[in-house]
Structure 1
């Protein structure tokens, strides 16, 4: 049975000086990736328009863009539903991200930029401060910031935008995995190993640490599926 949007959800002020559809898209996307909107949740265009104080047109446009990313399933004249997490799509997103980031860390290890290393270590420290608080949403934001900093330092920020657009399914898998005992600590440890290898100019070490880091969630796919059987689909 499908869930419906709770009355407390989607409380978000629209900036009237900006286009509405991108704001609705970003907010709904955040809620889907954080699993505040779980797979199977029905998104009513009429209800969303009412909550945002908008016409249905920008809401429709936002939902169509979410559909393009595979985050919702749109059934014309029927309903829009938050999609299940597609494992095949997650694997392809991981393949792309790993391919790009292996070159990113290679570039950074060759540069050995002291300023970047300080920035990355500061981000890791912020993550470490959240370990005992179990603030998974903030932890995830710093995780994204860590990787974005590396892309920007390597001179390929647009590739980060590309990866983010294609990573909705793998991001939701990671969000399911994050509360597992020891996972957040492992992320901090992996990030530290990556930065240490970059600082030492150790290309092989940085790439090995990155491979381990990016693959850890999909290595636990059977356990995640067992814990959330209704959230995952294979294709």
Structure 2
């Protein structure tokens, strides 16, 4: 059985280039921990699965290699990488630094923009809460990402979200491994609610404190994650 046998072939948008779409699909499969470290991504299989030529497959794999989500062994194999804790910590540092400043900016928005933001954030919170009952991990993960992306857009630094996402593959995998732990989904939504309420009050300090707690959640459980998934994490990370 091939590694993609149980994954439905995606319908590619023929109005867009194939390589970025293949990259997006494979990246999500890796970040959502559907493809485990050590999984061999064979070009011939990918060509058949996506129904395209080898060139966009090669380009997609090269982009995954740039994000260190795969290890490429020329003329041999492309393998899903293990989680690098150093890379995860660096991504966490970058994201925290940016988002702390974003929250400061959001708390001084003009009233009209602030009110519009609050309506969007509260709508997003409703989606997150709906994902808790019944619990839908995939839906919650998407809503989590959308919540933070909204903050970047509202602060008029949307392009920085793409930068953060590019650097966050390893820490995002840690989060997905930790997400099913009992109480973790509820904690994520609770943290988001605290951030939203602080923004509503225009209390930048409270918003930043809630963000620090939120982003530190996964990294504080690294030792536990390593014990549960010893083959997923680089030993000297």
Judge same fold: TM > 0.5, yes or no: yes
Q: Does 1:92 align with 2:90?
A: yes
- Kept in 2: contact 1:4–1:41 (CA 8 A): no
Q: Does 1:115 align with 2:149?
A: no
**Which residue is equivalent to 1:15?**
13
The alpha-carbon distance between structure 1 residues 127 and 83, as it changes in their structure 2 partners (threshold 3 A), is same
Deviation of residue 4 (structure 1)? 5.5
1:204-219 mapped onto 2 (5 Å cutoff) = 204-219=205-220
Q: Which runs of 5+ in 2 are unaligned?
A: none
2:62 to 54, 61, 64: 64
Deviation of residue 208 (structure 1)? 0.5
TM-score, scaled to structure 2: 0.95
The alpha-carbon distance between structure 1 residues 228 and 219, as it changes in their structure 2 partners (threshold 3 A), is same
- Alpha-carbon distance between aligned partners in 2 of 1:74 and 1:10, rounded to the nearest angstrom: 25
- Alpha-carbon distance between aligned partners in 2 of 1:39 and 1:4, rounded to the nearest angstrom: 15
**Which residue is equivalent to 1:130?**
131
- Alpha-carbon distance between aligned partners in 2 of 1:4 and 1:221, rounded to the nearest angstrom: 31
Aligned residues: 233
**Which residue is equivalent to 2:143?**
142
**Which residue is equivalent to 2:203?**
202
**Which residue is equivalent to 1:44?**
42
Q: Match of 2:221, SS?
A: helix
Q: Which runs of 5+ in 1 are unaligned?
A: none
Deviation of residue 52 (structure 1)? 1.3
**Which residue is equivalent to 1:182?**
183
Deviations 1:112-144 (A, max 9, x none): 601111211111111111113221111011001
- Alpha-carbon distance between aligned partners in 1 of 2:41 and 2:230, rounded to the nearest angstrom: 21
- Alpha-carbon distance between aligned partners in 1 of 2:78 and 2:224, rounded to the nearest angstrom: 29
**Which residue is equivalent to 1:77?**
75
Q: Match of 2:72, SS?
A: strand
Moved more, 8-17 or 47-56: 8-17
TM-score, scaled to structure 1: 0.96
Deviation of residue 10 (structure 1)? 5.3
